[in-house]
Structure formats: C-alpha cells, structure tokens
Amino acid sequence: MLSINLRGPRLHIRRAGPDDAAAFSRWFADATVTAYLPLGGKGSLPLHEIQAYLGRVATTDRPDVAVGIDLISHGLVGCGGFRNFDGDAAELSLILGEPSTWGRGLGTEALGLLLKFAFEQLALAVVWLVVRADNERAVALFRRNGFVVVDRYVGAVVVDDVPRDKFRMELHRGAWSEAADA
C-alpha cells in the first residue's frame, strides 16, 4: 500500500479514513457543495455508508484511493481521490467541502498535489474526470492544469427540469510533465 503524505504550502493530503466520515457526510448534505455533483438535489449519503466505504479503502490502493485534504492551519476542508482504475488510467475526484475556502487557490494546490501523486506514485498514464459543462470554475481549473475535453455528454443530467451537458476531460502524463517543467 502506498503512503499518502502530500504537502503543499497550505495543504496536506493524506489517506482518508473512517474518522473523516462525519465531515464528508456534512459536505454531501450541503446543497452548495453538491450543486454540480450527481448527488446534487438528491438528499445526502448516510453516515454509516460513508464510514463503511472509508473503512474499506483506508487500507488499499485499489479499487479506490480516497484522500482527505487538510488545510494545515485549519483541519479537514476537502476530499478526493482516484477510482475506476483501468490499467494505467483512473478517474480523479476533488471536492473542497468548506465553502469558506473557495476562491483562495486551494483547489489549484490540491489538484497539483493529486496529479503529482497520480503520475509519480500511482504511475498512471492518464487521469480523467467528468465535470458538468456549466461548472465554469471547475472546468477553468482543469483546463489551466492541462486537461482537455475529449467527450461531451449532451443532456447527461437534468437539473431543475433543464438538461445539462457534462464533459469528460483527460490529462496525459506527457502533457502534465511538459507543463510541470515549464
């Protein structure tokens, strides 16, 4: 099992565990946090399900890698990780669950740390994600970090009776290493 101890100027990313479940549950019940997630508007995830999931993934690198994102001076502010491993590719997730931390560059820092982990420690060749096309802040963050849209799912989700598109975005290790060297 890989050790996860990623440090940036303001963030510490570590393996998530059952003790993180209460914060995750609170975030997933917050309509502001989940506005662009599949869970948005559909209630919340039961605490016991989150605890069971985190208990399963706390000691393994597959099928999922779940992380807690700590603001060094504050504590747990987000979560994320990798899932849907397929050879040397995996899906990335990243959520800053504390709205008070939004707009401070923490998403950029967390994404950078997670990509370094993905390409250097997990030895992935491709990191991909699915994001709602109207989630402009997230799409801009991913584009700034080298992700490109490889597919558009038209009307993939209906929100308030309005069909919304989703993007599948990918970042290849070569493009990431070129950007990191620049």
* Parallel/antiparallel/unpaired status of strands 89-96 and 126-132: parallel
Q: What pLDDT does 158 receive?
A: 87
**Where does the chain show beta strands of DSSP type E?**
5-7, 11-15, 65-71, 75-86, 89-96, 126-132, 148-159, 162-172
- pLDDT 10s digits, 112-123: 999 999 999 999
Whole-number Å distance between alpha carbons of 120 and 180: 12
Cβ-proximal residues to 77 (8 Å cutoff; 6+ apart), any chain: 69, 70, 71, 96, 97, 98, 101, 106
Please give the tally of structural domains in the chain: 1
Q: How many CB atoms lie within 10 A of CB 28?
A: 22
Calculate ∠ Cα 35-55-82, nearest 5°.
50
Contacts of 68 (CB under 8 A, 6+ apart): 13, 14, 15, 16, 17, 20, 76, 78, 79
Indicate the pTM of the whole model. 0.93
Strand partners of residue 90: 127
Domain containing residue 131: CATH number: 3.40.630.30
Residues 69-104: pLDDT tens digits?
Answer: 999 989 999 999 999 999 999 999 999 999 999 999
What domain range is 9 assigned to?
5-181
Phi, psi of 114 (to 5 degrees): -65, -40
Check residue 84 and give left, alpha or beta (phi > 0: left; psi -120 to 50: alpha).
left
* pLDDT value at residue 177: 84
